[in-house]
A and B are shown apart, each in its own frame.
Chain A
Amino acid sequence: GAVVSQHPSWVICKSGTSVKIECRSLDFQATTMFWYRQFPKQSLMLMATSNEGSKATYEQGVEKDKFLINHASLTLSTLTVTSAHPEDSSFYICSARRREGRLADTQYFGPGTRLTVL
């Protein structure tokens, strides 16, 4: 159990276009999902916390108008990179939080999406 999918797994787009990435929890409901960005050979950088039915919470330095997050249901969150530029090229990973007991939560991660902006 606790499977999280991401789509697409990779995408190449032209500068100035927008790209949408989907994150789905396949076998559990997730009121909270997270979006991370990972640069080569580095750790994960939390971009934002996505809450079902409410606005996302963005980390300091992350442009909320550029990285639009929508958590439309308990199993789906989307990240839209608007007007993408080459510097937005990166590996984007989502995770979904599953409640596993009193006070205990675990994040389960998707396989990631490689975005390349030309």
Chain B
Amino acid sequence: AQSVTQPDIHITVSEGASLELRCNYSYGATPYLFWYVQSPGQGLQLLLKYFSGDTLVQGIKGFEAEFKRSQSSFNLRKPSVHWSDAAEYFCAVGAPLSNDMRFGAGTRLTVKP
């Protein structure tokens, strides 16, 4: 079965600085990869996803992620962070035709003024 690791529990960046959140997965074939964001007391909002094709994926709110098969990674990036980006970010991995989707433990992003 697939699994996901988000090595960073908490990251703090200054507003306007660049951001990279790490995600490593384990899966025997090409996985489906997702990044979700959760604001306090809210559900999860899909930021972007990768199924196949171009390994650089653009999402909403100015986020992008790059699938690197050789590194089993799907890191999330944003060139300039806004205070409203402060939230919990979850990486998830799924498999074709499967109900099974695994979530990472999450990375909490704090944005300093």
Give the interface of A toward B (CB within 8 A). Answer: 2, 4, 6, 32, 34, 41-44, 46, 49, 57, 91, 93, 95, 97, 101, 103-112, 114
Interface 9-mer from B19-27, B56-64, B74-82, B103-111 = B103-111
Total chain B interface residues with beta-carbon distance under 8 A: 22
Complex Cα spacing A87 to B90, Å: 25
A-B residue pairs, 3 tightest by C-beta: A109-B44, A111-B43, A109-B43
Contacts A6-B43, A106-B49, A111-B43 known; A43 to B90 CB distance under 8 Å?
A: yes
Identify which of B44, B45, B97 contacts A103 (C-beta below 8 A). Answer: B97
**Interface SS of chain B: helix, strand, loop or mixed?**
strand
Question: If A49-B99, A109-B43, A111-B43 touch, does A104 touch B105 (CB 8 Å cutoff)?
Answer: no
Task: List 18 A-B residue pairs with CB atoms under 8 Å apart, sorted by A's residue number.
Answer: A2-B46, A34-B99, A42-B106, A43-B105, A44-B44, A44-B90, A95-B44, A104-B32, A104-B96, A105-B94, A106-B49, A107-B94, A109-B36, A109-B43, A109-B45, A109-B46, A111-B42, A112-B43
Q: Knowing A43-B90, A107-B101 are in contact, say whether A93-B41 is a contact too (CB < 8 A).
A: no
- Cα A6 to Cα B42 in complex, Å, equals 11
Contact B51 A104 (CB under 8 A): yes
B34 within 8 A of A: yes
Interchain CB contact under 8 A, A103 and B96: yes
Contact of B43 with A93 in the complex, beta carbons under 8 Å: yes
Task: Please report the C-alpha to C-alpha distance between residue A93 and residue B101 in the assembled complex, in whole angstroms.
Answer: 15
A5 (CB) vs chain B CBs: closest residue:
B43
